[in-house]
Amino acid sequence: MSSTWPLWEVFVRTRRGLSHGHVGSLHAPDAEMALRNARDLYTRRQEGVSIWVVASEDITASSPDERDSFFDPAADKVYRHPTFYDVPEDVEYL
């Protein structure tokens, strides 16, 4: 039976968080039950106030083989970080 239930990825937004973060995966027969299983498995200790579930098969992921071409070219582009501005002294909370 276990082989017939699809896998779901679970995303939880914490009480103070602004976005949902991936917390793990689980098996469930459909999306509604996945949501409930997620509640039981991943919010047992009040970890969150909102849950998303996504069928794992619906996720398109980058491949480890593509890591070099995907990510390495960004390594030498320091000018993309906002570190070249002079911040006036009386600007707070920046």
Where does this chain bind other proteins (CB under 8 A)? 1-2, 5, 26-30, 32-33, 36-37, 39-41, 44
Q: How far is the CB of 21 from other proteins (least distance, A)?
A: 20
Q: How far is the CB of 11 from other proteins (least distance, A)?
A: 17
Q: How far is Cα 6 from Cα 56, in angstroms, rounded to an integer? A: 8
* Closer residue to other proteins in complex, CB, 30/57: 30
* Closer residue to other proteins in complex, CB, 1/78: 1
**Of 3, 4, 22, 2, whose CA–CA distance to 12 is shortest?**
22
Q: How far is the CB of 50 from other proteins (least distance, A)?
A: 16
* Closer residue to other proteins in complex, CB, 26/51: 26
Q: How far is Cα 7 from Cα 33, in angstroms, rounded to an integer? A: 12
Q: How far is Cα 89 from Cα 68, in angstroms, rounded to an integer? A: 40
CB atoms under 10 Å from CB of 8, counted, come to 24
Q: How far is the CB of 44 from other proteins (least distance, A)?
A: 7
Identify whether the C-beta of residue 9 lies closer than 8 Å to the C-beta of residue 48: no
